Structure 1
Amino acid sequence: MPKALEQQHQAQESAQTSTGQKLDWRRKISDHVAFGLLVYTGLHIFGTMTQLKTGNGSMLPYLALVILVAAIIPACRWFEMRWEGLSEEQATDPALAPAFKREVTLMWAAVVGLPVVLTLGFKGLSALF
C-alpha cells in the first residue's frame, strides 16, 4: 500500500509544469491552437501579399484567404474540441502525453505547411492562367 501511494504521488508531481501549475491538456491544446492560428495567419498573409504585389490582378490570392477561414480555423477548432471533452481526471493524466504530442505535431505541420502549399499551388495556378 505505501508503495502504491508513493507511485501515485510521483505521478501527480510529474503532472505539474515547471511553474508549479498542474498539467491540463485542455489548456495546453487551446494555447497551441491560438498560437498556431497566429502563425498560420502570418505565414498565409505574407505569402498572399507577395502574390498581390505582383500586380497580376488575379482573384486567386483572395481565394486563398477564403480557404483560411473555410479550412484551417474549423480544423484547429476540431483539434481543440477533441481535448475539451476530457474530464478533470483525464485532463491531468500524464498517460495522454504521447497522443497529445502526436496531435500537436500534426497540427503544427498543417499550420506551417499549408500556407506554403497554398501559396505555391495558387502561384502555379496563376502561371497557368
Structure 2
Amino acid sequence: MNKALRDSAATQNVSGQKAAGQKPVGKKVDWRRKMSDHVAYALLVYTGLQIFVTMGALKSGHSSILPYFALIVLVAAIIPACRMFEQRWDGLSDSDAANPELADRFKRDRLVLWLCALGLPFLLTGLFKVAYSFM
C-alpha cells in the first residue's frame, strides 16, 4: 500500500496534477491477458453461432444426424485450435507482455481470431450442407 501511494505521489507535480506524458501507474498493457480475454469471448461467440447455424440447418427439414455431428466436431476442434493460438501470447516474458511494439501483431492476431470465430460457423455448416446434398 505504501509503495502504491509513493508511486502515485511521484507521478504528480506540486499542484497535484499528473506530469505531462505520464500514464497512470498500473495501467500497463498486458498482451497475454488481453489475448486470453479475446480467445475466451471468441469461443463463446463461435459456439453460440455454431449452435444457432446448426439449429437453422436442422429446421430446414433435413432429418439427419449430420448437423449434430457437425456441431460436435466443430466445437470440439476449435477449442484446441484457440488454445494453441493463445499459447503464442502466453509465452511472452513480463517485459514483452507490456511492450507497445507488439500492438500491430496483437491487432492482426485479434482480427484473425474474430474473423474465424464469426465466419467459420457459417462456412463449415455450409460445407456440411453441400456435402449432405450430394448424399
TM-score, normalised by the number of residues in structure 2: 0.77
2:38 to 25, 32, 36: 32
Q: Does 1:21 align with 2:27?
A: yes
Query: Match of 2:86, SS?
Result: helix
Q: What's the C-alpha RMSD, in Å, of the aligned pairs?
A: 2.0
Q: Does 1:99 align with 2:84?
A: no
Report how far residue 96 of structure 1 moved.
0.5
Aligned residues: 115
TM-superposition CA deviations, 1:42-78 (whole Å, max 9, x none): 1100010011223422121122112223321111111
- Percent identical among aligned pairs is 57
Q: Which has the larger radius of gyration?
A: 2
Question: Which residue is 1:80 aligned to?
Answer: 86
Structure with the larger helix share:
1
Question: Which residue is 1:110 aligned to?
Answer: 116
Q: Which runs of 5+ in 1 are unaligned?
A: 1-9
Q: Does 1:65 align with 2:75?
A: no
1:122 to 105, 117, 128: 128
Distance 1:79 1:112 in 2: 16
Distance 2:80 2:117 in 1: 13
TM-score, normalised by the number of residues in structure 1: 0.80
Where in structure 1 do 4 or more consecutive aligned residues deviate above 4 Å?
none
Distance 1:67 1:103 in 2: 24
Query: Match of 2:70, SS?
Result: helix
Distance 1:113 1:69 in 2: 14
Question: Which residue is 2:47 aligned to?
Answer: 41
- For 1:41, give the aligned amino acid: T
